[in-house]
Amino acid sequence: MLLTPETYLYLSFKCHKLIVNTAKTLRQTVSCCLPDVPSCVHDLTCILTPNLVSNKRRSRFHLQQKPLKRVLALIPSSCPCISDMPTCLLCTCLGGSVYCDDLSLDSVPPLPKHTTHFYARYNRIRKINKSDFASMNKLKRIDLTSNEITSIEDRAFMGLPELEEVVIRENHISQLPSFPETMTLIDASHNNIGSKGIHREAFKDMTGLLYLYLTDNHIDYIPVPLPNSLRSLHLQRNNIQMMHEDTFCNLKDFSYIRNALEDIRLDGNPINLSRTPQAYICLPRIPIGDLI
The helix/strand count (H/E) of the chain reads as 4, 13
- What CATH number is associated with residue 140? 3.80.10.10
Looking at the fold, whether 41 and 131 belong to one and the same domain comes out as: no
Looking at the fold, whether 176 and 236 belong to one and the same domain comes out as: yes
Query: Would the pLDDT of 84 be above 70?
Result: no
User: Residue 52 — pLDDT band, cuts 50, 70, 90?
Assistant: very low
Res 55: pLDDT? 35
Res 2: pLDDT? 54
* Total domains, the chain: 2
Mean pLDDT of 170-188: 98
Res 60: pLDDT? 38
CA atoms of 291 and 120, how far apart (whole Å): 40
Looking at the fold, whether 193 and 144 belong to one and the same domain comes out as: yes
Query: Would the pLDDT of 269 be above 50?
Result: yes
The beta strand positions in 97-230, using DSSP E, are 97-99, 117-119, 127-128, 141-143, 151-152, 165-167, 185-187, 211-213
Mean pLDDT of 257-275: 95
Looking at the fold, whether 147 and 192 belong to one and the same domain comes out as: yes
Of 180, 199, 102, 113, the C-alpha closest to 143 is 102
Res 253: pLDDT? 86
Looking at the fold, whether 26 and 92 belong to one and the same domain comes out as: no
DSSP letter string over 103-121?
S--SSPPP--TT--EEE--
Looking at the fold, whether 148 and 102 belong to one and the same domain comes out as: yes
Looking at the fold, whether 57 and 164 belong to one and the same domain comes out as: no
More confident residue, 256 or 233: 233
Mean pLDDT of 215-241: 97
CA atoms of 168 and 156, how far apart (whole Å): 13
Mean pLDDT of 250-278: 92
- Domain end call among 53, 85, 117: 85
More confident residue, 233 or 36: 233
Res 35: pLDDT? 52
DSSP letter string over 65-118?
-HHHHHHHHTS-TT-TTGGGS-HHHHSEEETTEEE-TTS--SSPPP--TT--EE
Cis omega before residue 38 (within 30°)? Answer: no
Query: Would the pLDDT of 131 be above 80?
Result: yes
Q: 233-251, pLDDT tens digit by residue?
A: 999 999 999 999 999 998 8
Looking at the fold, whether 71 and 114 belong to one and the same domain comes out as: no
- Domain end call among 42, 65, 85: 85
Looking at the fold, whether 46 and 92 belong to one and the same domain comes out as: no
Share of the chain above pLDDT 70, in %: 71
Looking at the fold, whether 154 and 247 belong to one and the same domain comes out as: yes
Mean pLDDT of 139-164: 97
Q: Which has the minimum average pLDDT: 23-32, 182-191, 200-209?
A: 23-32
**Coil vs helix vs strand at 11:** helix
pTM (predicted TM-score): 0.74
Mean pLDDT of 96-115: 95
Share of the chain above pLDDT 90, in %: 64
Looking at the fold, whether 63 and 109 belong to one and the same domain comes out as: no
CA atoms of 133 and 103, how far apart (whole Å): 19
- Domain end call among 22, 55, 85: 85
Of 95, 94, 93, the C-alpha closest to 109 is 93
Mean pLDDT of 262-283: 94
Looking at the fold, whether 73 and 203 belong to one and the same domain comes out as: no
Res 82: pLDDT? 43
Domain span at residue 129?
Answer: 87-292
Of 286, 167, 187, 198, the C-alpha closest to 234 is 187
